[in-house]
Structure 1
Amino acid sequence: MGASDFSRLPHIGESLLRKEDYRFLTGAGQYTDDVVLAAQSHAVFVRSPHAHARIERIRTDAARAAPGVLGVFTGADVAADKINGLPCGWLITSTNGAPMKEPPHPILAQGKVRYVGDHVALVVAQTQQQARDAAELVEVDYEALPAVVHVADAAAGTTGAVAGAALHDIAPDNHCFKWAIGDRTAVDAAFADAAHVTRLDLLNNRLIPNAIEPRAVIASYQRANDEYTLYVSNQNPHVERLLMTAFVLGLPEHKVRVIAPDVGGGFGSKIFLYAEDVCLTWAAKKLQRNIKWVADRSESFLCDAHGRDHSSHAEMALDEEGRFLALRVHTDANLGAYLSTFASAVPTILYATLLAGPYRTPLVHVEVDAWFTNTAPVDAYRGAGRPEATYLLERLVSRCAWEMGLEQDELRKRNFITSFPYQTPVALQYDIGDYPACMAQAQQLADVAGFAARRAASTAKGLLRGIGYSSYIEACGIAPSNIAGALGARAGLFECGEVRVHPTGSVTVFTGSHSHGQGHETTFAQVVAARLGIAVESVDIVHGDTGRVPFGMGTYGSRSISVGGAAIMKALDKIETKAKKIAAHLMEASDADIDFANGEFSVRGTDKKIPFAQVALTAYVPHNYPLDKLEPGLNETAFYDPTNFTFPAGTYICEVEIDPATGATRVDRFTAVDDFGTIINPMIVEGQVHGGVAQGIGQALMENCVYERETGQLLTGSFMDYAMPRADDFPDFKLGHVCTPCTHNSLGTKGCGEAGAIGSPPAVINAVLDALRPLGVRDFDMPATPHRVWQAIQQANPSAKT
């Protein structure tokens, strides 16, 4: 079945209410902290108060003797049991041919701590309060060392000359790798001949994910069969199990079951294998007890993997008519203290390959230096490299337009790619798209024609108004495995789907994708119901359990429907093929003459037909069955490894209104037009876009993770200091859709979960700068807080001082 045929099926394109919401709205959801096991004990971690220090001595006697304490563990215990460190899942090769520097990442610190919040000791007690009290009794002697916090300091080489500032022996200058893509020589030549060159320096501010549900882990060990069960708030339980068993604990994979029940948001921060997960699994066997750990919000701020944190210099070469000739970028990426699971892929494979954007830029060269700092590890956060690429490119494009005296939309239109497939100069080949159509619809919905009048009305009130554009493209459904492997991936990137048809014709689907708010139980059910011609209510979706699902790579990179859904479609192909043979036998026809549509099998050219449910029952009650040709049952499994990424794209337009007296910035209008290919459930897609746009506006206007430069202390360690957006910070969003179905998966889908967070930050900041340009403000970095905006106004226009 092709994508065009699929899009015309019943249930596809219907805004059905989410099946899973009933249990959430009635309090019947089960999150990790809701799980209570027999004889359950509690864990608390002793964490480093220093950003960088040697551990001179750890005294645990008082803690071990405290009431209710079952065990206290340190790095010495980890070393004695020969537990490996946490692995990085992506190997990057430097430009000199050497592999990236991979320092050990112990699950409990050994010899040194490297960021505030680093794991020093694990205390397990009968109750959580007893564990907390005992943790206070663990005494650690530290020798404080110089800390490097800002990536600019690491990149400047200022820390290399300071004794003790090196985080890891393997990287004395704190440099992890230098990576590049593109033809530098050709790019340099294009710049030499360019009519105009635009240059831009910018920072992409560090973010803290802050999912509603903090991370949580429960580890259980069954001595009778030497098996482990791990309940964890995680986005990809099979990957969690694989990394933990094969690379850290050395356990047989089939002896470990990982269950990720309902998960209250992840945004990438729950993809990774964390030290807490391994520590509890290891300690559960040592203590022969079930152990629970639930992060409090302060721990989440300190220890969840952070996102973004790039410092970049970008240059665009243009001809006299404003057509792009070449792009040149250098980025310094902050990796934090250790290499997290996918950290090395974010500023390289997932970032630089998107810097062509939706534009015909014939030459691109990108160089990335990655650095260790005394901060929490940095890894994938909603968009993972794509927001960083889009922010840089779209800020640069608007700057190009302003410098050349062109409107933001005009320069984009002149450079849009219009013919497909299109091979970019940075590895990716776009299969299909219609970027001018996205722009045209966005301008209509945003009423760009009325902007001048709205600006005049704002001016009359003493306010500044600006409009900002962002035309993004992203690569979703990370693929294919063989190419990803050649680029450094240490795992396959396929997905698995099992379709189990029951005797009554109802269906259970087991998917390796994982839902943590995206509505999989509804969307996947719509796909199956549409294909089999049955009711959506007759389809149940099972995910998040390695004991029930054959295998899977989880959910990230907007891959669920395009990769996980395509695997389910392949399994449905097998179901249909077998079911046609059964139907042919029942109707005494050749299976080549059987058609299947709307839940019925029919013999072509006759009025003979039987319903799907009858075929399902026959498969399990094979009284009249071709047993010589077919096995009983109707259950199929398929794996899908995509042949290319999918490429969602779109144009976002933002209007802001600024009070120059205070710098307060209000998003007055926001329009998002996206091309997600085939849309299964428009309501769910709109919800995903709303959430992504909210996160993107949050980054643009208020969210900012800040460490004290000298000591490495986290200054934004609570919601008192780290501003999260609220509902009244946003206008009603206007959303539109363009559809160019993906050409290489059977659903025609592209993915929608990250687009809002990718396209919105540059649209907001371009709008802010457009409002401030008449005052002489050319640039500043996110977030555009009132103080930063006011300060920019004062510095650019001293007469504006009050």
Structure 2
Amino acid sequence: MNAVQPFEGIGASVRRKEDFRFLQGRGMYTDDINRPGQTHAFILRSPHAHATIQGIDTAAAKAMPGVLAVFTSADMTAIGGIPCGWQIHNKDGTPMAEPKHPVLAEGKVRHVGDPVAVVVAETRAQARDAAEAIVVDYAPLQGVSSTEAAIAPGAPAVHDGVAGNLCYDWHIGDKATTDAAFAKAAKVVKFSTTNNRLVPNAMEPRAAIGEFDAMSGDYTLYTTSQNPHVIRLLMGAFVLSIPESKLRVVAPDVGGGFGSKIYHYAEEAIVTWASAKVKRPIKWTADRTESFMSDAHGRDHVSTAELALDTDGKILGLKVHTLANMGAYLSTFAPCVPTYLYATLLSGVYATPVIYAEVKAVFTNTVPVDAYRGAGRPEATYLLERLMDVAAREIGMDRVEFRKKNFIPTAAFPYQTPVALQYDSGDYFSTLAGALETSGWATFEERRSEAKARGKLRGIGISTYVEACGIAPSAVVGSLGARAGLYEVGTIRVHPTGSVTVLTGTHSHGQGHETTLAQLVADKLGVPMANIDIVHGDTAKVPFGMGTYGSRSLAVGGSAMDKAMDKIIAKGKRIAAHLMEASVDDVEFERGTFRVAGTDKTKSLTDISLAAYVPHNYPIDEIEPGLDETAFYDPKNFTYPGGCHICEVEIDPDTGKVSVMGFTAVDDVGRVINPMIVEGQVQGGVAQGIGQALLEAAIYDADGQLISGSMMDYTMPRADDLAPVSVATHTTLCTHNPLGVKGCGEVGAIGSPPAVMNAVVDALRDFGVNHVEMPATPAKIWNIINGHRMAAE
């Protein structure tokens, strides 16, 4: 008797296919790749945040054992600067300041870690030793690290010709109507906060291998990238001037990205260019300390918000002013994060009639800042959800009831916000109700009293949020300054015996795409997952795609696959109709079987695929052989996941230590393809959110020295800093993509920080605390408590 095939389609918690190789240590990451004749590169980086380069002496380094070459910017004069992928315009319509971002520093260094020279040697140790022998004559300049200091009168200029270090001064919304709403408000609540700078710290550091084939003139770059086609486009066309037909970019297994591996980095261009100079492959792999000062950082907003309310606590309007730190240069997508990924989400889940937001982006002598898990949406959610708690407290209204009073009604969808976006679906009341019940919100005061009896402080916090995923459509984002399309591609290749290869332009760096994308095929085509292969990350194999970020893989990439499967089915019906001597209109298809409606005449997908490739009985004059289809999908709108997160904390007043006692996340991510993977994604995002709220901060001194530049100083969350996360979903389908999916990769990092910090403030309510800046470290909390005690004595 044949075993029953387990259901592997949409909705099944199928175990991850890729974990078989990962758990056995058989993954293939960039640093695992070693090419014949491979050499090693080491990057000499600036120890200064700001300095002019008076001269560079490389003679001693070139004479050291194993050294093949030493390069500085003087050797790379024909190379272009690293391009920015998004242009923002100022309030007056003029373009943003866009200073050159050289591959190696030209005349001046602008942040600690700015690359100055590269050594290529037989071994990494030899390259490092030689780099230490390079003598750079620096003339230190005053640096500036904070946005407030950078725009202050007389501040040192990060770039010559950029007045006041201002990259752009942008706004959205109607100021006049917003001012009018504020003029009739019964209450205006004002709130200011800083969204702390973070270092992504993916498990796998960045790495790159450049290889030049002198016989063919072809270049190959192996790199830790979330979007290899974009790297090929940016590096080939704008930096190295290599025809795309001569440049292959391969991103194999990638151990985490969180946004930091989206961008084109200098090291990729350096090893690719230098490989042609030394005529051998060159590998570069960052160590962890190097990553702290070379990977793009995240967040770093300073914001003030004002909320206008009527006498019943209904929102009349919102004003926001934000200073966003760009760092020393513009990273690939940096300009869009504080604008179209942040300010457009300031309505949140609330019916806010009018909003006016202005954002000033500022250059500083720090590592460039770009998208980090959530990218703008966590910053918007944190500002808004802390403001809602502050406002509820000021007007004396229960914070849950205050939120419910201002929720967008479920019947109001599609809902047009005053800041450009139109939400297509959502049900914020249901996710709130589910989270309240699961978290035990109603019985919390009993737990607070029990903790007090033990000498502890207990608090509970809530966050209700919405985010935007699958940035689109291309025509719209192009009009907003995007310098790339935001469609996706999918190819479905059904082989003669019915197995399937999927070529996708998205990329997996830990999300489980090899499983989830295969489930889409298993569900629609009825092919066992064991017979489905997912291919991604190689520009020589996959059609041009836009990679993975912003929770776009299913909503955009999966939809492209779905369209390609529709083409497979349509062609299969024509072949099946011929084989079964029926009309095409009478042929039905369901999970692997073609059937003539109302009869028992059937053909399997394998019957059809074999006929397609072995056309002995085939209308070849009407249908081309083969069963291989490609489709592109350009979304009509963003998708809008949303939900409610609740955190419960306990504080030890003697040490200031904040312990997370419980966390509940109820999210609407649209149709759930694999519940197990969704749960894992939410848990991982919550861990990062707790890290930001309680532990993590990239801290610079006033002159631009990174003083939290290693794991000794930058506190990553450990297992005992976290608590079990209760994850549940409540589904409203996306109305404009064929799968109904919304995205889940970022929700945990978006909803969790304000939930944690609202809980911390709640725990400290008896001390008169209205706000605590992230991260809520033990020292910070201890000082707050003891400061209150001393004032009371």
TM-based fold match above 0.5: yes
Q: Is the 8 A contact 1:235 1:260 kept in 2?
A: yes
Give the CA deviation at 1:799: 5.2
Letter in 1 for 2:654: A
Q: Map Cα deviations across residues 511-554 of structure 1 (whole Å, 9 max, x no partner).
A: 00000000000000000111001211111100000000011100
Cα distance change on mapping 1:45 and 1:10 into 2, 3 Å: closer
Aligned residue for 2:133, secondary structure, equals: coil
Q: CA deviation at 1:599?
A: 1.2
1:219-258 equivalences in 2 (<5 Å):
219-258=210-249
Task: Give the residue type in structure 2 aligned to 1:193.
Answer: K
Q: 1:695-731: per-residue Cα shift (whole Å, max 9, x none)? A: 0000000001101113x11100111100000111111
Which of 753, 766, 770 in structure 2 is aligned with 1:778?
Answer: 770
Q: List 4+ stretches of structure 1 deviating above 3 A.
A: none
Residue 640 of structure 1: which of 623, 633, 636 is its match? 633
Please give the alpha-carbon distance, in whole angstroms, between the structure 1 residues aligned to 2:176 and 2:458: 42
Q: Tell me which residue corresponds to 2:69.
A: 71
Match of residue 752, structure 1, among 741, 744, 747: 744
Q: 2:609 aligns with which of 602, 605, 616?
A: 616
Of residues 122, 132, 135 in structure 1, which corresponds to 2:131?
135
Matches within 5 A, 1:38-117: 38-79=36-77, 82-117=78-113
Using the TM superposition, give the Cα deviation of residue 172 of structure 1 relative to its aligned residue in structure 2, in angstroms.
3.3
SS at match of 1:358: coil
Does structure 1 residue 739 correspond to structure 2 residue 731? yes
- CA distance, structure 2, for counterparts of residue 350 and residue 449 of structure 1: 35
CA distance in 1, matches of 2:392, 2:86: 37
Show CA shifts across 1:236-277 (max 9, x none). Answer: 000000000111111101110000000000000000000000
Residue 476 of structure 2 aligns to which amino acid in structure 1? Answer: I
C-alpha displacement of 1:449? 1.1
Q: In 2, are the aligned partners of 1:64 and 1:134 still within 8 Å (CA)?
A: yes
- 1:294 is matched with 285
Give 1:147's aligned residue.
143
Residue 443 of structure 1 corresponds to 436
1:779, 1:374 → 2: CA distance? 29
Distance (whole Å) between structure 1 residues aligned to residue 652 and residue 272 of structure 2: 54
**Within 2, Cα distance between the matches of 1:534 and 1:632?**
21
Tell me the secondary structure at the aligned position of residue 303 of structure 1. coil
Name the counterpart of 1:516: 509
RMSD: 0.9
Deviations 1:301-341 (A, max 9, x none): 11100000000010100111111100000000000000000
1:699 to 654, 667, 692: 692
1:791 Cα deviation (Å)?
Answer: 1.4
Q: What letter is aligned with 1:229? A: T
* 8 Å CA contact retained: 1:777, 1:796: no
C-alpha contact 1:671 1:734 (8 A) present in aligned 2: yes
Q: Which amino acid aligns with 1:590?
A: S
> In structure 2, the residue corresponding to 1:315 is in which secondary structure?
strand
Report the identity percentage.
Answer: 62
Which residue type is aligned with residue 632 of structure 1? Answer: P
Structure 2 distance, partners of 1:603, 1:10, is 26
Counterpart CA distance in 1 for 2:238 and 2:469 is 27
Matched-pair contact (CA < 8 Å) for 1:357–1:473: yes
CA distance in 2: counterparts of 1:322 and 1:549, whole angstroms = 54
Q: What is the identity, as a one-letter code, of the residue corresponding to 1:547?
A: A
Matched, 1:537 2:533: no
Residue 97 of structure 2 aligns to a residue whose secondary structure is: coil
Deviation at 1:143, TM superposition (A): 0.6
Deviation at 1:10, TM superposition (A): 6.0
Residue 668 in structure 1 maps to residue 661 in structure 2: yes
1:797 Cα deviation from its structure 2 partner: 4.3
Q: After TM superposition, give the deviation of residue 225 of structure 1 in Å.
A: 1.0
What CA deviation, in whole Å up to 9, does each residue of 1:550-591 have, x standing for no partner? 111000000000100000001001000000000000000011
CA distance in 1, matches of 2:136, 2:460: 54
Within the alignment, does 1:496 sit opposite 2:489 as a pair? yes
Counterpart of 1:563 in structure 2 is 556
> Given that residues 438 and 738 in structure 1 are in contact (C-alpha distance below 8 angstroms), is that contact kept between their aligned partners in structure 2?
yes
Residues 12 and 679 in structure 1, CA contact (< 8 A), matched pair in contact too:
yes
SS in 1 for 2:116: strand
1:776/1:797 contact within 8 Å kept: no
The equivalences for 1:565-604 within 5 A come to 565-604=558-597
What is the alpha-carbon distance in structure 2 between the residues aligned to residue 736 and residue 319 of structure 1?
35
The change in CA–CA distance for 1:328 and 1:628 in structure 2 (over 3 A counts) is: same
The answer to whether residue 202 in structure 2 is matched with residue 211 in structure 1 is yes
Contact residue 420 and residue 430 of structure 1 kept, 8 A: yes
2:334 aligns to what? 343
**Contact in 1 for aligned 2:8/2:14 (Cα 8 Å):** no
1:236/1:514 contact within 8 Å kept? yes
Aligned equivalents of 2:415 and 2:113: distance in 1? 46
Looking at structure 2, the residues matched to 395 and 674 of structure 1 have their Cα atoms a distance apart, in angstroms, of 19
Deviation at residue 673 of structure 1 after TM alignment: 0.3
| Matched AA of 1:278 | A
**Distance in 1, Cα, partners of 2:161 & 2:524:** 54
- State the partner residue of 1:363: 354
Q: Deviations over 1:193-221 (max 9, x none)?
A: 10111111100000000001000000000
Shift of 1:793: 2.0
CA contact (8 A) 2:8 2:529 kept: no
Residue 800 of structure 1: CA displacement? 6.7
**What is the rounded CA distance, in whole Å, between the counterparts of 1:758 and 1:232 in structure 2?**
28
By how many angstroms is 1:794 displaced?
2.8
CA apart distance, 1:598: 2.7
Equivalent pair of 2:462/2:646 in contact (CA under 8 Å): yes
Partner of 1:3: none
Please state if 1:390 is matched with 2:381: yes
Structure 2 residue runs without a partner (length 5+)? 1-6
- For 2:303, the equivalent position in structure 1 comes to 312
Name the structure 1 match of 2:786.
794
- The yes-or-no answer on 1:405 pairing with 2:396 is yes
SS of alignment partner, residue 218 of structure 1: strand
Secondary structure of 1:173's match?
helix
Q: Residue 793 of structure 1 contacts residue 800 of structure 1 at CA under 8 Å; is this kept in 2? A: no
What is the CA deviation profile of residues 727-764 of structure 1, one whole-angstrom value per residue up to 9, with x for unaligned ones? 11111111111000100111100000000000000000
- What does the per-residue CA deviation read over 1:6-36, in whole Å, with 9 as the maximum and x for residues that have no partner? xxx9611100000000000111100000000
Q: Distance in 1 between matches of 2:770 and 2:598?
A: 71
After superposition, what is the alpha-carbon deviation per residue over 1:608-655, rounded to whole angstroms, capped at 9, x for unaligned?
A: 111111111111111000111101100000100000000000000111
Superposition TM-score, scaled by structure 2 size: 0.98
Residue 4 of structure 1 corresponds to which residue in structure 2?
none
In the alignment of these two chains, the number of paired residues is: 785
Give the 3-state SS of the residue equivalent to 1:395 in structure 2: helix
1:777–1:793 Cα contact (<8 Å) kept? no
- Conservation of the 8 A alpha-carbon contact between 1:794 and 1:800: no
**Stretches of structure 1 lacking an aligned partner (at least 5 in a row):** 1-8
- In the alignment, which residue of structure 2 is the partner of 1:23? 21
TM-score by length of 1: 0.97
Aligned partner of 2:4 in structure 1 is none
Question: For residues 466 and 404 of structure 1, what CA distance do their matches in structure 2 show?
Answer: 20
Question: Matched residue of 2:478: which SS?
Answer: helix
Q: Which residue of 2 aligns with 1:453?
A: 446
Native 8 Å contact 1:32 1:218 kept in 2: yes
